[in-house]
Chain A
Amino acid sequence: MRPLPNDDFAPAPRCVETGLNILVVGVGGQGVLMISKALALLAQRRGFEVKQSEVHGMAKRGGIVFSHVRFAPKVWSPTIAKGEADVLIALEWAEGLRWLDHLRPGRGVFIADTRRIVPPFACRSRKPGAPSAYARETPAEIVGRHADGCALDATEIATALGDARTANTVLLGRLSAWLDYPVGDWHAVVEAIAPKGTAEINRRAFDAGRAWTPPRTDIGDPGTADATVASPPLAALPDLHISVAIDPAWCKGCAICVKLCPERCLAMDGPIAVVATPSACTGCRVCEWLCPDFAVTVRNEGVPA
C-alpha cells in the first residue's frame, strides 16, 4: 500500500481500455443499485460487455445491499473475487470497511461516504445514549493507507443541494474523476437513470461529487473531521425523564413485569413486584402494557403510552 500523495484528490483519470471491476456497497434505500445501473449503462454505451450481480434481500430492514459491476471486452464471471475489485464505492462507512478486502492490493480505489448508519443490533444496551459497537475505524485510518481514494460526507453535500437521496450520485460524480470518460457521457447516463423529475438535482449532485476537493486544512487526511474521535458521537438525546413505579396496593404479584422486562430492572419482593434497578429502565413500557392490574406506571415522553 502506498501512501496517498497530498495532491491526489484530483487524480489523473485512468484510461480504461481493458475493463474494470467495480463493487458498490451500502444498505437498503441508499441507491446502490442506481449507481451500478449507471455504471453498467455507461460501459455498455462504450461497447463493453457488462455483467452486474446484486444482493438486496434484507434491504427493507436496513440490511446490506451490494452490487458487482464488471465490464470488459469479454466478461466471464458475474462476480468479483476477493482482491480483484478496481473500485469500491461505499455508500455507508462500515459497509465499505467490510468489503475492503475485495480491492486490488495497492491499486484499488476506495470511494466512501463517511455517513454512518448504525444498525439497531450495534447497540448492546437499550439505555439512551449508550455506546454502540459500530466500526471504530476512521476514514483517516483507511483512506490512503490501505487503499487509494477518498472519503467524503456525500450525504451532507447532497442535503445541501436539496435532496439527501442524491448522495449516491455525488459518489458517482466522485468516481468519474478517476475514469477517463467524457463528462457528457456521464451526464447522459445520469439523466437516463435518474427517477422521473430528479434529473436536474442528480446532475448537480454528480457535478458536486466530480468537483469535490477536501477542505484545505484536511489535505492529506481526508475525513479528518470525522476521524478525530474514535467513536462517532451520537446526536445528544433529549432528557426523557424516564421512570418506572409500581403501586403496591394494586400489584397482585403475577411477576409478568419482572419476567418480561428486557432490562431486568424489576424484581419480586415477597408477594409483590418492586423496582430493583430503576437506572436500568429504558422506558419501553412493556411492563406497563402487560400489567393486568395497572400497578405499573412508566414515565417516558419519548414512548407514547
Chain B
Amino acid sequence: MLEATRTLPFDIKDYLRLDTMPHFMCPGCGHGIALRALLAAVHDCGIDKDRLAVVCGIGCSGRVGGYIDANTFHTTHGRPLAFATGLKLARPDLTVVVVTGDGDCLAIGGNHLIHAARRNLDITCLMLNNEVYGMTGGQASPTTAATRLTSTTPSGAIEPVFDACALAAAAGAGFVGREVTRQAPALKTLIARALRHPGFAFVEVMSDCTEIYGRKNDLGEAPEMILSQKADMRPEARRDAPDQPFRPNALPTGVFVERDLPEYGERWRAHAAALRGETER
C-alpha cells in the first residue's frame, strides 16, 4: 500500500484544511515544521489522504491533526495510541499516524507507549518533544532538562528526563528514530522510513517551544532556538566519532532501531484464520 512513490511535486496546500489556516501555534513553534515534514513524507510515500488517519492526544501536539486534510481524531490526553490501536485493528487498510507530545506520550500516556511498542501494531507514532506542557502554560514535562525553568519548576527542574527513543526501543518497537526540526528534510526522510516500516514506528521530533519555554529560559528568539538545535545534536552516523566536535551530552539523531518483527495485526489475522479453520473442521 505504501510502495507507491509520488512523482508530482509536493504542495503542502494539497494536504491542509485551508479553511483552518493559519494555524493556532505560536510564532516560531516547531510543531508547524514537524507537520510540514510529516505531510511531505506522506506525499513521498504516496499515501491516499482518504486512507490516512491521524490520531492525536491533547496539548499543542494534539492540535496538529486538525489542520491535516485527512481522517483526523483529536482524542483524550495521553490515549491516542490506545485509540489508534482500536482503529488500526478494525481498519488495517488505513495508514494510522499518531501525533503526540512529550507530556501526552511519556507522562500520562507512557503506559500506552510501551505497550504499543511491545504489541508492534503497524502505527507510526510521531512524538513532538518540546520539553514542556505548552498548552497549559509551560509546566515541566518528563523531558524538561535539569535546571530549566518552567511554571512548576520556578527554581529549575531537578527531575531526570526520559530518553523516549531508548524507552521505545527497549519496549520492543521495530523502528525508532529521532530528528530535530532544524533538519526538516532529514526529518521528512526519517518519517517516510517510519511510515514504510511495517510495524510500530516511533519518531521523536525535537521541537521548539519558543513563546513559553524559550522565553522563560532565555533561549533566544525562534531563529536562535532553531539554530542552536544543530549544536545540540549528533547524527547517528557519527555515533562512533569521538565527542570532540560535539558538545557533551549531544543528542543522538537518526535511526536507532530498524528491525523486522512480526506485525501484530497480521499476526492476529493469521491466528484468527487458523482458529476459523479449526472450527470448520
- Tell me, yes or no, whether A and B come into direct contact in the complex with CB atoms closer than 8 A: yes
- Chain A residues in contact with chain B, CB under 8 A? 249-250, 252-256, 258-260, 289-295, 301, 304-305
Query: B28 contacts A254, CB within 8 Å?
Result: yes
Of residues A249, A250, A290, which shows the largest number of chain B Cβ atoms within 10 Å of its Cβ?
A290
CB-based closest 3 A-B pairs:
A292-B32, A259-B223, A254-B28
Known A256-B28, A289-B185: A294·B16 in contact at CB below 8 Å = yes
Query: A293 contacts B32, CB within 8 Å?
Result: yes
B87: chain A residues at CB < 8 Å are: none
A254 to B221, alpha carbons, bound, how many Å? 8
By beta carbon, the residue of chain A nearest B208 is A292
- Chain B residues in contact with chain A, CB under 8 A? 9-13, 16, 21-23, 25-33, 36-37, 40, 181-182, 184-185, 210, 221-224, 226-227
A304: chain B residues at CB < 8 Å are: 9-10
Query: B22 contacts A293, CB within 8 Å?
Result: yes
A289: chain B residues at CB < 8 Å are: 33, 36-37, 184-185
B10: chain A residues at CB < 8 Å are: 304-305
B31: chain A residues at CB < 8 Å are: 292
List 21 A–B pairs whose Cβ atoms lie within 8 Å, in order of A's numbering.
Answer: A250-B21, A254-B222, A254-B223, A255-B221, A256-B223, A256-B226, A259-B223, A259-B227, A260-B223, A260-B226, A289-B184, A290-B184, A290-B226, A292-B28, A292-B29, A293-B23, A294-B13, A295-B22, A304-B10, A305-B10, A305-B11
Instruction: Give the shortest distance, in Å, between A123 (CB) and chain B (any CB).
Output: 21
B33: chain A residues at CB < 8 Å are: 289-292
Known A290-B181, A305-B40: A255·B223 in contact at CB below 8 Å = yes
A258: chain B residues at CB < 8 Å are: 223
Query: B32 contacts A255, CB within 8 Å?
Result: no
Instruction: Give the shortest distance, in Å, between B196 (CB) and chain A (any CB).
Output: 18
B13: chain A residues at CB < 8 Å are: 294
Known A290-B184, A292-B32, A305-B40: A253·B27 in contact at CB below 8 Å = yes
Query: A292 contacts B223, CB within 8 Å?
Result: no
A301 to B8, alpha carbons, bound, how many Å? 11
By beta carbon, the residue of chain A nearest B67 is A294
By beta carbon, the residue of chain A nearest B185 is A289
By beta carbon, the residue of chain A nearest B183 is A289
Query: B9 contacts A305, CB within 8 Å?
Result: yes
B223: chain A residues at CB < 8 Å are: 254-256, 258-260
A290 to B188, alpha carbons, bound, how many Å? 12
A212 to B270, alpha carbons, bound, how many Å? 70
Instruction: Give the shortest distance, in Å, between A270 (CB) and chain B (any CB).
Output: 13
Instruction: Give the shortest distance, in Å, between B37 (CB) and chain A (any CB).
Output: 8
Instruction: Give the shortest distance, in Å, between B34 (CB) and chain A (any CB).
Output: 9
A255: chain B residues at CB < 8 Å are: 28, 221-223
Query: A292 contacts B22, CB within 8 Å?
Result: no
Query: A260 contacts B227, CB within 8 Å?
Result: yes
Query: B11 contacts A254, CB within 8 Å?
Result: no
A294: chain B residues at CB < 8 Å are: 12-13, 16, 21, 32, 36
A250 to B16, alpha carbons, bound, how many Å? 13
A250 to B30, alpha carbons, bound, how many Å? 15
By beta carbon, the residue of chain B nearest A303 is B185
B181: chain A residues at CB < 8 Å are: 290
By beta carbon, the residue of chain A nearest B13 is A294
Of residues A255, A256, A291, A294, which shows the largest number of chain B Cβ atoms within 10 Å of its Cβ?
A256
Query: B25 contacts A292, CB within 8 Å?
Result: yes
By beta carbon, the residue of chain A nearest B211 is A254
By beta carbon, the residue of chain B nearest A295 is B22
A260 to B225, alpha carbons, bound, how many Å? 11
Query: B221 contacts A252, CB within 8 Å?
Result: no
A289 to B11, alpha carbons, bound, how many Å? 12
